[in-house]
Copies of this chain bind each other. A is one copy, B any other.
Amino acid sequence: MKNNVLIIGGGPAGLEAASGLQRLGYNVILIERTTMLGGHLASWDRLFPDGASATGALDGLLARMDGVKCFTDTEVQSINRLEKSYNVILSNGITVLADAVLVASGFDLFKAERKEEYGYGIYDHVITNADLEAWFASGSDTRIDSPNKIGFVHCVGSRDEKSGCRSCSKVCCATAVKQACEMKQAFPDAQIYCFYMDLRMFGRHYEDLYLGAQKEYGVRFIRGRVAEVSENVDGSLLVKAEDTVAGKPLKVTLDLLVLMAGMRPSAAGRRVGGLLQMPVEEDGFFAVRDGILSGQRSQLPGLFLAGAATGPKTLPETLADARGAVTEIDRYLSDVFPNAKNYKTLVRERW
């Protein structure tokens, strides 16, 4: 008998772990709450730092999924520990006896309307990073109307004790700089401002992206928090900020303001975590057993974690984390079920 592995979540982490486990010979069942695989990646346009196509990356992940049983529109209804396995009843009527469960429940974007002072959902020309990405992909959003002056607010729902979101979301700085460059390409006459606290361009090629934004695109980086946004009678936005480098307050009138909403624990993930009684940390993301040697084991036997379920991650980090989960699950199952018959699946690829 092969071991069954249940993967909860069909975003990049779930997909990458599914294909890896399938190749190692496990019987993999992946469930996705929504109608579509891909998670947030499916609604993104281009990826930092090189502008790679998000669709291309997702296609790459989906192309490896041969043999994995995927159920979309499916959630966990109940879950019970039975000796060494978990009996999981799914909302589609199927029951799985899972020898290991991987929670890859991802993240929700911070709800930008919670920061009332920025006016999302109130003023016409205030949008989020996700809205802008959807516009890059579709070209349609009435709020984006040939803007001449565009602002990006970093750290919306990140590094913000008042919102109960103390930690950094890690990906917003690089996303903002990428989107700023793309807006300058779309509107060559526009002047673009980024309001930031610390520019966290830490990854390979990120610094090039940042220098290019300044030199090639003339993006103006202003170190300071936006204090308040209000709407003028003509629909333009009056933004008040503190320029901490110039040491004085600053007012600027903009045609479009983009809020870089941070990564928050997924509400659906929290629900599943509750069914599994899986501990969360103060930051709201799931606790791991060892943050250095293994960030993919939960504190409970047979339950594993991958991707943004354990905190903000870039896409390559999420995929690496998923591969780590494959290793951990394989180790666990080989040990706990030494007599199971899991044969490697050969996958032909071009090299």
Interface residues of A in 205-232 (CB under 8 A from B): 205-208, 211
Interface contact A301-B166, CB-CB below 8 Å: no
CA distance A205 to B201 in the complex (A): 18
A268 to chain B, nearest CB (A): 21
Interface contact B168-A202, CB-CB below 8 Å: yes
Q: Are B331 and A316 in contact (CB under 8 A)?
A: no
In this complex, the interface size class of chain A, counting residues with CB under 8 Å from chain B, is 35 or more
| Contact between chains at A292 and B310 (CB < 8 Å) | no
Question: Once the chains are docked, how many angstroms separate the CA of A335 from the CA of B351?
Answer: 9
In the complex, what residues of B have CB within 8 A of residue A241's CB?
none
Chain B residue nearest to A293 (CB atoms) is: B60
Instruction: Flag whether A167 is at the interface (Cβ < 8 A).
Output: yes
Q: Are A293 and B323 in contact (CB-based, < 8 A)?
A: no
* Copies of this chain assembled into the complex: 2
B residues in contact with A166, CB < 8 Å: 207-208, 211
Q: Please state if B327 and A349 are interface contacts (CB–CB under 8 Å).
A: no
Is residue A115 within 8 Å, beta carbon to beta carbon, of the partner chain? Answer: no
**Chain B residues, CB < 8 A from A203:** 168, 170, 311
Contact with B along A81-94 (1 / 0, CB 8 A): 00000000000000
Stretch at the interface among A29-37, A175-183, A242-250: A242-250
Chain B residue, CB-CB nearest to A327 = B323
Q: Is A149 an interface residue (CB 8 A)?
A: no
Given contacts A198-B198, A331-B349, contact A204 B315 (CB under 8 A): no
Contact of A207 (CB < 8 Å), options: B168, B323, B344: B168
Question: In this assembly, does A283 line the interface, its C-beta being within 8 Å of a C-beta of chain B?
Answer: yes
A10 contacts across to B, CB distance below 8 A: none
